[in-house]
Structure 1
């Protein structure tokens, strides 16, 4: 069995925890593994590393490579398909399936979103084995037996019973509470967003029910041109709701799409007052007095007194306070920031780059202070800035620095100065991360004040 992992989502309903350049699938929400890494581990139950394909945004390529390296998993670079722009799930799945059939021939392919939380057990594995047999004739989706009426999920009405599953009688959109109660009573399933397709059957059916998607991939060869032509459409709407071959296989395991902070509250363990708490950082701590049923995610000492049913999300540069039950509306905050051009919709205080990370420590008029972490054997681009100078102080590790036509080595406690307009680069030649404090001084300190002479990551 082959696997396609979908890893291009932006996670806008989890702002400020999730940002465009570090969405929820790459965040270690629960333990020391990101949701993406957990999905890779699930994919390895059925597929070898060379049989796993990842469809994602070009902005996430280096995060994916770092996550795979951390796992020690070697997925071929040509298996990472970089979309020039997001066009929802059907174009992404079609590209992955077309690529798999060209390389491997007719195949069975599991489709996994990379931002869900799923418990793997014997029932999980058995469901996929049943689905594999059905996929010769049907398009398989997986249905979760509801634990309660939920208004944030789509539903599937099962029809004629088959060996291993049911024909899909109808797909239902996210309902109101009364309708959700009715669906649960009548034995509907939650739509998990996972699928299992036969490549040959899938490509033929898409040609019939979504010809504009098929045409875009057949008429153009270069992926940017294809994505300029292909419509933005989900696999549910574009194929599953139109085909007469849809079946649902029940999946009897814990599943949570983590589509909102309400969903995260459900997934976390609770204390005696039903508070779900996640702290990150040496000084992070939560103190609650007469507080109950709250979700607290914080990077600092956070205290509540006499509050209940709140979601308090603190990421250092942004604070969200929302009523539980209003999690789906967090996306409106993201959209407002995006419309205003606010970079806090896009990037955290800690930003991830192909060479490592930088964290904004402080900024004011005419200055900005960052902590840079350069990973072993990585280096920044050869670049210069026109409106700012920079002062670098090495905290740990060894830095190989180029400033103009000079090359120097800096060790902990040593520093250097880079005047505005001079080409420069820093490299970590060592085996441990390089930590640098960078002080920028100038009239303009925007990240777009940069001219790259050489780039190791393919950026223009």
Structure 2
């Protein structure tokens, strides 16, 4: 049974405005190095897979070969979040490859050493049991921006899933970490048939029926945007989790650079062209054509790309999506 990697590269990454935009989403950026996040992800999974597919939207399809030249490009009819995307990928890969096991993962996460071992255990569990298997990262802090998984019965290589819990309050996150819950990293292993069988019992059933009939565009019109967690996993009795003790960050917002970057003596993380004077614990990011000077401030994120500048307290980095929503409303 072949192993096929499916790398999701259709998101926009609005919380990393102005670096990430609809024209240049974050997976094609090199936020913490010289190579793009997509390129690093494909390199990470290629040793584990017999083939790699990159799933993306039509408007990004031409960008993929520059970052993943050896990968096949799958183009979903429209952006509908990870639920429809992963169902579409499973159906397409099954038709092209036949019987296989899929390793599905986002293109825009930062993952440290040690990923291969838990990924291989997840693939083995999916192959041998027919379960929908997720990687659960062992948390190093009570993060409120991630979903959590409660492990159930220990089955050796994996645990049954006792529950999925969405982004919690600070108090709940502290309790989850104390009780041994795991972060939901959005990395999944399953056979195409296992996922499609569960999808047929969910709100994504019209999509599966349309795909069976050779009408993917119709199927995407019939379903609402929904994550695979909400659509399938949370109501599934056939889910399993493999713990992964690896450094991991979803690089979802600017505060992630403060966690994964290389700070100077004053705690500033700089990616680009910048000058700091009496500044502490700031995140500064620019494109090649911009220069930022930061003087006498603390705890700010300053990002300058394409003539647009963002200034926000780093602790409020999640609110950047509000800026994008306002800007999009003004353009309509």
CA distance in 2, matches of 1:271, 1:303: 15
Q: Is the 8 A contact 1:216 1:230 kept in 2?
A: no
Give CA-to-partner distance per residue, 1:145-182, whole Å, 9 cap, x none. 11111111111111111111211111111011111111
Question: Residue 267 of structure 2 corresponds to which residue in structure 1?
Answer: 274
CA distance in 2, matches of 1:10, 1:298: 18
User: In the TM superposition, what are the counterparts of 1:235-314 in structure 2 within 5 Å?
Assistant: 235-279=228-272, 284=273, 286-299=274-287, 300-314=290-304
Instruction: Tell me the residue number matched to 1:151.
Output: 144
Whose strand fraction is larger, Structure 1's or Structure 2's? 1
Structure 1 partner of 2:7: 5
Between the aligned partners of 2:139 and 2:82, the Cα distance in structure 1 is 24
Q: Is 1:23 aligned with 2:19? A: no
Residues 277, 213 of structure 1: alpha-carbon distance in 2 compared, 3 angstrom cutoff: same
Give the CA RMSD over aligned residues: 1.5
Q: 2:154 aligns to what SS in structure 1?
A: strand
Residues 57 and 78, structure 2, Cα contact 8 Å, conserved in 1: yes
Alpha-carbon distance in structure 2 between the residues aligned to 1:316 and 1:204:
45
* CA distance, structure 2, for counterparts of residue 240 and residue 169 of structure 1: 11
| Match in the other structure for 1:411 | none
Instruction: Report if the CA contact (8 A) 2:207-2:219 is conserved.
Output: no
Q: TM-score, normalised by structure 1?
A: 0.68
Residue 158 of structure 2 aligns with which residue? 165
Q: Post-superposition shift, 1:234? A: 1.2
Query: Which one has a larger percent helix, Structure 1 or Structure 2?
Result: 2
SS in 2 for 1:150: coil
Partners of 1:112 and 1:194 within 8 A in 2: yes
Kindly state the Cα deviation for residue 240 of structure 1 after the two structures are TM-superposed: 0.7
Q: Could you tell me which runs of 5 or more consecutive residues in structure 2 were left unpaired when the two chains were aligned.
A: none
Q: How many Å apart are 1:317 and its aligned residue?
A: 0.8
CA positional deviation for 1:112: 1.1
Q: Is the 8 A contact 1:42 1:120 kept in 2?
A: no
> Counterpart of 1:32?
34
Q: CA deviation at 1:252?
A: 1.1
Q: Distance in 1 between matches of 2:123 and 2:34?
A: 32
SS at match of 1:291: coil
Contact 1:212–1:231 under 8 Å retained in 2: no
Maintained 8 Å contact 2:207/2:220: no
Q: Which residue of 2 aligns with 1:348?
A: none
For 1:83-135, what per-residue CA distance to the aligned partner results, in whole angstroms no more than 9, with x for missing partners?
232111111111111112112222110001101111133xx211122112211
Alpha-carbon deviations, 1:346-372, whole Å to 9, x = none?
xxxxxxxxxxxxxxxxxxxxxxxxxxx
In the alignment of these two chains, the number of paired residues is 325
Q: Contact 2:209–2:219 (CA<8 Å) still a contact in 1?
A: no
CA contact (8 A) 1:209 1:239 kept: yes
Which residue in the other structure is 2:70 paired with?
A: 74
Question: In structure 2, what is the Cα distance between the partners aligned to 1:116 and 1:277?
Answer: 19
Give the alignment of 1:301-450 within 5 angstroms.
301-341=291-331
Residues 398-451 of structure 1: CA distance to partner in whole angstroms, max 9, x if unpaired?
xxxxxxxxxxxxxxxxxxxxxxxxxxxxxxxxxxxxxxxxxxxxxxxxxxxxxx
SS of the residue 1:266 aligns to = helix
> In the alignment, which residue of structure 2 is the partner of 1:218?
212
Residue 201 (str. 1) matches residue 190 (str. 2): no
Spell out, residue by residue over 1:178-197, the C-alpha distance to the aligned partner (whole angstroms, 9 max, x if none): 11111111111111000000
Look up the match of 1:112: 105
Question: 2:135, 2:186 within 8 Å by CA — same for their partners in 1?
Answer: yes
Q: Which runs of 4+ in 1 moved over 6 A?
A: none
Q: CA deviation at 1:328?
A: 1.0
Q: In structure 1, how many angstroms separate the alpha carbons of the residues matched to 2:322 and 2:300? A: 18
Q: Tell me, what secondary structure is at the counterpart of 1:115?
A: coil
SS in 1 for 2:47: coil
Distance in 1 (alpha carbons) for counterparts of 2:198 and 2:166: 23
Unaligned runs of 5+ in 1: 343-460
